[in-house]
Amino acid sequence: MTRPFVVDIHTHVYPPSYMTMLRARKTVPYIHDPEDNGTPRLIILSSDDDPAIPIDQRGRPVDSSYSDINVKLDFMQNHGINCSVISLANPWLDFLSPEEAQTWAIRINDDLNATCVDINQAADPDNTLPLREKRTLFAFGALPLSAPTPDIIVEEIHRLSSLSHIRGVIMGTSGLGSGLDDPKLDPVWGALEESQQLLFLHPHYGLPDEAFGGSETTARYGHVLPLALGFPLETTIAVTRMLLSKVFDRFPRLRILLAHSGGAIPFLAGRIESCIAHERKFKENGGDVPGPQRSIWEVLKTNIYLDAVVYGKAGLQAAISAGSTDRLLFGTDHPFFPPLGGEDAKWLSVTTNYTAINEVFKEDHTSVAAILGENAVRILDLN
């Protein structure tokens, strides 16, 4: 059979302009460059900026795989990936002051688009090769969410529609600072719905240390609890709040791609729906608050897409059951979770996703091809 065309829709990069901005900062988030010219470290969370921790050990190392696009291209070559839709990793632009948010959003989004243009032109100068026969890049833009008014965010959403290689936006779960059920986000939802740009929703803040047993517990186990449980539950809570606040009732054509296969939503969708049906606060049950009119099942099958960054057969089966095969898209989460066995080793985080897809579908080559790339080509209009 013909080898499937592979699109990686969950792959991050910190462009040079973003790295420059972080290096100029002295408060979280910031980049520390060791005096011995070692690997720079990104201190991304307040909990990582503990004075008791030597500064050369705070945060996480950010080597060239985070910022050098040629390293990204080599990774794609080594793992059979034809096309990547790159995006900023957390914390995006959420931390910027209101007066600088728009300026940096424009600069970084233009950088992302220009990077894609340069790579794609180098791969096919005359633009005559089919998509399958070249290695290409597209991007999700970042939003100036800390801007003084939502109008500035809306303006950037519409501007992104005019950039040739931008295919949507990436956003965290805090929104304007009060969560995704904040009514002040309605102009943003409206602009995304009107432009039909895909929103890639990605967690960042996780859950408080208390959810895992306190700071001593998280210190003892490192990032396992926050990453394995905190990130997916952050997504689950954020999207459920959107449902309960009737965002999907007001914006029925909103399109959202959820990172990490939607967290626990595919597994808990039935429980969420049952709890909504029995909530006495909702008018439908004699209360005084209108409940959501659209079910979580309808939203999953019409508004939501899921990536396949779930690392296992059981999680992938839940994602397929909650949504559908034609709404699932392959991703790697590169450059996070690098190989443990040296530079030339395969990335376990990538191969486990490939394996899960092949184990679930076995000889169903049509479904495998859809998830690995054809869905992304159709949904994001990559042609």
The conformation of residue 8, written as its DSSP 8-state character, comes to: E
Tell me the one-letter amino acid at 206.
Answer: G
pLDDT score, position 131: 82
- Banded model confidence at residue 37, pLDDT cuts 50, 70, 90: confident
Q: SS3 for 71?
A: helix
Tokens, residue 63: 């080597």
The mean per-residue pLDDT over the stretch 150-174 comes to 97
Round to whole Å and give the CA distance between 34 and 286.
62
Percent of the chain topping pLDDT 70: 99
Tokens, residue 95: 């931390």
Round to whole Å and give the CA distance between 224 and 255.
30
DSSP string across 137-196: EEEEEE--TTSSSHHHHHHHHHHHTTSTTEEEEEE-SSTTTT-TT-GGGHHHHHHHHHHT
The conformation of residue 132, written as its DSSP 8-state character, comes to: G
- For tokens 């559908």, the residue is 324
Tokens, residue 275: 């709890």
Task: Enter the pTM of the model.
Answer: 0.95
pLDDT in tens, 201-227: 999 888 888 998 988 888 788 889 989
- For tokens 């050098």, the residue is 68
Say yes or no to pLDDT of 75 above 80: yes
- Banded model confidence at residue 344, pLDDT cuts 50, 70, 90: low
- β-sheet bridge partners, residue 83: 7, 136
The mean per-residue pLDDT over the stretch 159-168 comes to 97
Percent of the chain topping pLDDT 90: 81
Contacts of 341 (CB under 8 A, 6+ apart): none
Residue 150, judged by CB atoms within 10 A of its CB (0-12, 13-18, 19+), counts as middle
CB 39 within 8 A of CB 63: yes
State residue 188 phi and psi, 5-degree precision. -70, -45
The mean per-residue pLDDT over the stretch 119-135 comes to 89
The candidate with the shortest Cα–Cα distance to 135, out of 149, 124, 148, 147, is 124
- For tokens 């592979």, the residue is 6
pLDDT score, position 350: 93
Contacts of 255 (CB under 8 A, 6+ apart): 192, 193, 196, 197, 198, 199, 303, 305
- Banded model confidence at residue 383, pLDDT cuts 50, 70, 90: confident
Give CA 235 to chain center in angstroms.
Answer: 10
Tell me the one-letter amino acid at 129.
Answer: L
- Nearest 5°: the CA angle 359, 360, 366 is 105
CB 179 within 8 A of CB 173: yes
Beta-strand relationship, 256-258 and 304-307: parallel
pLDDT score, position 180: 98
Q: How far is CA 102 from CA 81, 93, 166, in A?
A: 33, 10, 17
pLDDT in tens, 246-265: 999 999 999 999 999 999 99
- Nearest 5°: the CA angle 273, 275, 276 is 65
Write down the H helix ranges in 213-346.
Answer: 215-221, 224-225, 231-244, 247-250, 265-277, 296-302, 313-322
Round to whole Å and give the CA distance between 8 and 3.
15
Say yes or no to pLDDT of 343 above 70: no
Round to whole Å and give the CA distance between 124 and 93.
32
If phi > 0 it is left, if psi is from -120 to 50 it is alpha, else beta; for residue 340 that is alpha
Round to whole Å and give the CA distance between 112 and 88.
9
Q: How far is CA 216 from CA 1, 40, 47, 53, 210, in A?
A: 53, 26, 12, 14, 10
